Chain A
Amino acid sequence: MTLLQYLVRRAGLTAFVIFGITLVTFVLTHVVPADPVVSYLGDHAPQDLVVTARHQLGLDRPLPAQYGIYLRQLVRGNLGISIMDNRPVSADLRQYLPATVELATAAMVVAIAIGVPAGIASAVYKDAWPDHVARIFALAGTSLPIFYLALLLLGVLYVRLGVLPGPGQLGIYTTPPQPVTGMVVVDALLTGDWLALRDALQHLILPAAVLGYYQTGLITRMTRGSLLEVLRQDYVRTARAKGVSERGVVLRHALRNALLPTVTVVGLAFGGLLSGAVLTETIFAWPGIGRYATNSVTNVDIPAVLGVTLVIAVIYSVANLAVDVLYAYLDPQIRYT
């Protein structure tokens, strides 16, 4: 099977999965004992206004009819109108997703830049002090609650030392760059707005470090474990016997094979980060999809919840597919089936 055939087959399967997800999410949002109309109109609205609004929103129709309408609209690329802000859900997603993509990408850069070298050092110097340091570092990353770490770093680096800025994507007195992609750093780069770029990068450091630290722990542990296993393989022993330097053995011969499980972790973690880092976004006032999703769920904003779920499902599917394609690149023995 060629790569193209494989991609087409996977896309077909993904469409099936997404249909199932929309159905499950639709049923779940309607069976929870909470009323989106009451949530939207508030406690003070009189009962007749609630009844009228429910009718205007089409929520008094039978569930299968509502789902049918939703699917028909979805096929046309229409994700519906948010109950809360009366805007198309697609417009909301276009607004909030770029900030999350920016944050997740920065977090993954942090995680890979620290996690892979730390994992290599940990494996090469197994049971020596670099290994102990890397293991403690990784353990702390995976066990410290994100909200605690975020508040701690904000307290120290922002409040006490004042070396990094506080919450938000930009400072209050910085004019946002002209929107192009919706990602502030990228837009500042594209428009040559260097003041905004510097401010945006400064604001990105803390949330990216907090979010990336957890993933760093995972990547360090995964890289260490798989590299140790590969270093015990016969071909590695052969390479050493041929007189290849230790650095060459590790980086050229062992690392490529050892990175396979790490790629899986990175792919899935990236998908997870894109689906919304709720706590990080809340604490750092980051205008991403995580906060939008939480707000939508809290308010039972059914179209918004369905839209967010759909996007997350697509992101996960694409991340999984990218991992599988990368596998074959890293290990030519793997074939598309």
Chain B
Amino acid sequence: MRRLVAVGAAILLVGVWAALPGRSAPVYLPQQTVVIARDISSVVSLDPQVSYEIGDPDLLSYSNLVQFRHGDLTHPQPSVASSWTSSADAKTYTFHLRPGIKFAGGNVLTSADVVYTFERAVNIPKDPASWLITQMGIDPKNVDQVVKAPDPQTVVVSLPEPFSPGAFLSIMANTVAGIVDSKTVRQHVTNNDWGTGWLVDHSAGSGPYQIARWERLVTIELVPNPNYNLGPAPAIKRIVWPNIQENTVQRNMLARGDADIARDLSASQLAALKREAGFYVAQIPDLGEEYLGMDVKNVPALGKAQVRQAVKYALDYDGIVRELLNGNGLPLQSIVPKGLFGYDPAMPYKHDPAKAKALLTEAGFGGGFSVTMLAPSGTAAGGVSSGDLASKIKNDLEAVGIHVSIREVAGSEMYQTYRAQKSEMVLANWYVDYPDPDDFSKPFGDYKQKSLCWRLQYYNDPLAALVDQAGGLENTPQRGALYKRINDMMNQDGPFALLYQPMVSYAVSKRIQHFVFDPVNDIDFSQMTKQ
């Protein structure tokens, strides 16, 4: 018994000591540190040529040939390249590099590093991001011929086929083209892995920050690059992303001051936060869209354009945006979302059940038909429950006589069925890879890309030709007119009912000043300060 008492007393003492306020010895002060609470479970690597899910740490650790200024996703600006030229046939691009740019490790950035970066992107096996480069016709066999360094300050990219100049430069601003320090990476290559094993949790870039710590599913931490000379050093010296999956816990951390920014709050949490004095909510339209896809072969009724139009008239778009999303989304009926060149503000479809029924009757399906809708478990774009959104769509379609069975499955199962052209109707979304209309018009309109419209077995040659033509042009009025035509064709005939454009929302403590962000560059830390 005496032993029991002693053990109990020891536990109590340790508990009391532990509960006393603790001290720590931080390298950077809280005023220099920004903590962003968000779910980072999807991050599998911080290697810029591999990373695909959350780009912020790579965007801050690496520099690219070109970049987009915050708020302007239409005009690429100089970065590592001080200037560039492109040939009239949209095949050859020549970049002139700024002299004296230094990597975090101290090496000077030259054209050899750019060439090595391209080589990595196309050679790393099963690389999720590689297709952004390989779609331009660059592959492991031809990369040494396509990307050349005639001198240390010049890079020439000679594509085998013409590729949209807007899309090309947009991809050059993507994390996949983040330039790595070839000398440092080569020192860490093991088993011909192109240094992926080392770059998974280290950085070798010339951006304003470098990776201090990454533990998958746990935390990402950046600290300043001491050799950064592409711009002024940012005031924020340490950025931490703890992996906080629960949005209630994100909200709690914000309330206690343990987080400065929260990324995944629900629409109702954001609405409540707007009424609190210590915080503000920053929102802008995300470059993405939630859509309902209709397979035109697997369901005979959906093979008829009138039936697809009937589906589009049957949907209560305002109800979805207002009631389900609670303002966390915008109405959208343009394949190219708001914020990009080629966006069309027209809204040809309004909730009109009578017209939907008339169209169904006209198509010979006045008695209705049955269809199975695949919906991924979890949340849809804009933070709404995917199941709730599917139920709302089911109600709307059943009101005009279309009987819908919902199958809510894991995303990996849904996409397997969808990709195998075996779905009937899918509830899914598409987010930007690179800020060019090509990134939306190709998957939605060109079946030869074997992407979204191909998965729904929608093969429209005139549309595919238009998409191809528009992709090859600079952002001119002619290109704008082509996207207008593409959008009209998609709305009239296409297999997609566009539901909404989600908002991207950050809840921010008022300790943070100069909070600027956009969906491509994400948060701008160059101007940010903290009290």
Which of A's residues lie within 8 Å of B, judged by CB? 32-50, 52-53, 56-57, 84-87, 92, 95-96, 109, 113, 151, 154-155, 158-159, 162-168, 171-175, 195, 198-199, 201-202, 205, 247, 251, 282-285, 287, 291-292, 295, 298-300
Contact = CB atoms under 8 A, between A and B. Distances in A.
Interface stretch (B166-174, B250-258, B338-346, B464-472): B250-258
Contacts of A113: 8, 11
B126 A53 contact: yes
Contacts of A84: 44
Most B C-beta atoms less than 10 A away, residue of A36, A38, A201? A38
A113 B428 CA distance: 50
A247 B411 CA distance: 60
B248 interface: yes
19 contacts: A39-B411, A42-B52, A42-B53, A44-B433, A52-B126, A56-B125, A57-B126, A86-B45, A86-B197, A86-B200, A113-B8, A171-B24, A171-B258, A173-B24, A173-B33, A201-B14, A285-B245, A287-B217, A299-B412
A33 B416 contact: yes
Contact of A35 (B134, B240, B248, B416): B416
B244 interface: yes
Interface residues of B, number: 66
A175 B25 contact: yes
Contacts of A284: 249
Interface stretch (B15-23, B96-104, B475-483): B15-23
B451 A46 contact: yes
Most A C-beta atoms less than 10 A away, residue of B8, B41, B215, B409? B41
Instruction: For the complex of A and B, list the 7 residue pairs with the smallest distance between their C-beta atoms, beginning with the closest.
Output: A201-B18, A53-B126, A39-B412, A34-B412, A35-B416, A34-B413, A173-B26
Contacts of A162: 256
A50 B419 contact: yes
Most B C-beta atoms less than 10 A away, residue of A43, A96, A199, A282? A43
A156 to B, nearest CB: 11
B410 interface: yes
Interface of B: 1, 8, 11, 14-15, 17-20, 22-27, 30, 33, 35, 41, 44-45, 52-53, 125-126, 128, 130-131, 134-135, 196-197, 200, 215-218, 240, 242-246, 248-249, 252-253, 255-256, 258, 409-413, 415-417, 419, 428, 430, 433, 443, 449-451
Contacts of B252: 154-155, 158-159, 166
Given A86-B200, A174-B22, A287-B215, 13 more contacts: A34-B410, A35-B419, A38-B412, A40-B128, A44-B430, A46-B450, A46-B451, A151-B246, A155-B252, A173-B26, A205-B15, A251-B1, A285-B218
Given A86-B197, A151-B248, A300 B412 contact: yes
A168 B19 CA distance: 16
Contacts of B27: 175
A167 B253 contact: yes
Contacts of A46: 131, 135, 449-451
Contacts of A164: 19
A50 B126 CA distance: 8
Contacts of A174: 22, 24, 26
Contact of A167 (B130, B249, B415, B417): B249
A299 B430 CA distance: 19
Contacts of A175: 24-27
A174 B25 CA distance: 7
A84 B125 CA distance: 13
Contacts of A298: 410, 412
A172 B412 contact: no
Contacts of B216: 85, 92, 95
Contacts, number: 169
A43 B44 CA distance: 16
B286 to A, nearest CB: 15
B45 A168 contact: no
B128 A198 contact: no
Contacts of B125: 53, 56
Most B C-beta atoms less than 10 A away, residue of A41, A173, A174, A291? A173
A165 B256 CA distance: 9
Contacts of B248: 151
Nearest to B248: A151
Most A C-beta atoms less than 10 A away, residue of B22, B23, B197, B252? B22
B416 A38 contact: yes
B128 A41 contact: yes
A196 to B, nearest CB: 8
A202 B22 contact: yes
A39 B52 CA distance: 12
Contacts of A251: 1
Contacts of B218: 285, 287
B17 A198 contact: yes
Contacts of A38: 412, 415-416, 419
A154 B249 contact: yes
A40 B258 contact: no
A107 B433 CA distance: 44
A43 B450 CA distance: 12
Given A33-B416, A173-B24, A49 B131 contact: yes
Nearest to B41: A295
A167 B242 contact: yes
B217 A159 contact: no
Given A87-B200, A285-B243, A33 B217 contact: no
A85 B128 contact: no
Contacts of B200: 85-87
Contacts of A291: 41, 217, 245
Contacts of B196: 86
A109 B409 CA distance: 39
Given A46-B449, A199-B22, A172 B131 contact: no
A202 B19 contact: yes
Nearest to A202: B18
B18 A205 contact: yes
B435 to A, nearest CB: 14
B251 to A, nearest CB: 9
Contact of B256 (A158, A195, A199): A158
B22 A282 contact: no
Most B C-beta atoms less than 10 A away, residue of A41, A96, A285? A285
Contacts of A41: 126, 128
Contacts of A172: 33, 35, 240, 242, 258
Contacts of A300: 412
A47 B253 CA distance: 41
A301 to B, nearest CB: 10
Given A158-B256, A173-B26, A32 B413 contact: yes
Contacts of B197: 86
Given A34-B413, A46-B131, A172-B242, A166 B23 contact: no
Nearest to A173: B26
